Amino acid sequence: MAPPNPFDIASEGIRTLRAFGQRIPGAGDVLARSLKDAVSGRTVMITGASSGIGRAAALEIGEAGGTMLLVARRKDQLQEVADEIEGLGGTAYVHTADLSDTDDIDRMCREVLAQHESVDVLVNNAGKSIRRSVDRAYERFHDYQRTMQLNYFAAVKLILALLPTMRERGNGHIVNISTIGLQMNTPRFSAYVASKAALDAFSRSIGPEIIDDGVHITTVYMPLVRTPMIAPTKIYDRFPTLSPKDAGHMIAEAIRKRPKRMATTLGTIGQLSYAIAPGAQDLVVNRAYHLIPEGDQKQPAHEPTPEERAFVRATRGVHW
């Protein structure tokens, strides 16, 4: 048996130190590669790529040199995004799938692996949100089933289908788009937050199993973004929100830096406050619950009070 090559040992050591360093808060900005270096020649799948955050991320990553696999239900909308990417000098492929149908996910993944051999980066971006107090959901168990199906089971199904080739190749990255609501325990989103919490727990559990195979998992706790998903809730028309382009940039940065998690400062403070004083946080959030109206699918009849406006500005990005 040949003795180990010192250059191979040194190279592996440098890769290990760099990967470890990127997980130290603040160090990722210094040690991470450029987006072009991170995605050039790599295959990146984004679900929910036909509009909003997914579209914006696909355009930025595609322009940087990633080979984009665009996934959603509407072929015509996906083709428009693919044409935009190619107009920017990138490469994109359209793969339609109904992510609420596990059989269709299987079909799409077989198609992708047959055509592209592997997926280097999987971005689980597609999602469904429901804003409804629990006392209005007593007879709506289907809300929880549908949300869990798309936000949790679909993402897990994709991971289980694409993870084996990542591990075999010794390289891969899974980016899960979660929500600041999971950090702030926002009311009226029990179906949505629970589904994102399930995916977070799944990812945190498998993370230690796959890290030595070169596969990394990043969770992005996304703040409120002005996308078609929030459009029906008219109360958000007066909330400060992130633009889809800025949100897409967060995903690009997650791919570039490969951190364990990405969050806003407010989201991190919320998570810390709940760890330290959960009862006190409940009281604060309860005040927000009573301050911000239910809204439903129409503009609330009253004008926002000064207290409501101040609270919304102070908690920018939280979907109350």
Host domain of residue 229: 24-314
Contact 220, 179 (CB under 8 A): no
Q: What is the mean pLDDT of residues 6-22?
A: 55
| CA contacts within 13 A on the Cβ side of 58 | 34
**Position 268 in a domain:** yes
Q: Pick from 271, 233, 131, 268: which is nearest to 187 by CA?
A: 131
- Residue 238: its pLDDT value, please? 55
Active site residue 289: no
Separation between Cα atoms, residue 222 and residue 294, nearest integer Å: 22
- Residue 200: its pLDDT value, please? 97
**Position 293 in a domain:** yes
**Position 287 in a domain:** yes
**Position 11 in a domain:** no
- Residue 45: its pLDDT value, please? 98
**Position 7 in a domain:** no
pLDDT, tens digit, 9 for 90 and up, residues 254-276:
999 999 999 999 899 999 999 99
pLDDT, tens digit, 9 for 90 and up, residues 182-240:
999 999 999 999 999 999 999 999 999 999 999 999 999 999 886 665 555 555 555 65
Domains identified in the chain, total number: 1
pLDDT, tens digit, 9 for 90 and up, residues 124-172:
999 999 999 999 999 999 999 999 999 999 999 999 999 999 999 999 9
Query: What's the chain's average pLDDT?
Result: 88
Catalytic residue among 93, 144, 152, 192: 192
pLDDT, tens digit, 9 for 90 and up, residues 46-100:
999 999 999 999 999 999 999 999 999 999 999 999 999 999 999 999 999 999 9
The answer on pLDDT for 295 being more than 70 is no
Q: What is the mean pLDDT of residues 18-35?
A: 63
- Residue 11: which pLDDT band, with cuts at 50, 70 and 90? low
- Give the other-Cβ count within 10 Å of 21's Cβ: 13
Contact 254, 175 (CB under 8 A): yes
Alpha-carbon torsion 136, 316, 285, 184, what sign? positive
Query: Structure tokens of 24?
Result: 């130290």
Separation between Cα atoms, residue 31 and residue 19, nearest integer Å: 9
**Position 246 in a domain:** yes
**Position 3 in a domain:** no
Q: Give the list of residues 6+ apart from residue 217 with CB closer than 8 angstroms, or none.
A: 173, 174, 175, 176, 203, 206, 207, 210, 260
Query: What CATH number does the domain containing 279 carry?
Result: 3.40.50.720
**Position 267 in a domain:** yes
- Residue 229: its pLDDT value, please? 59
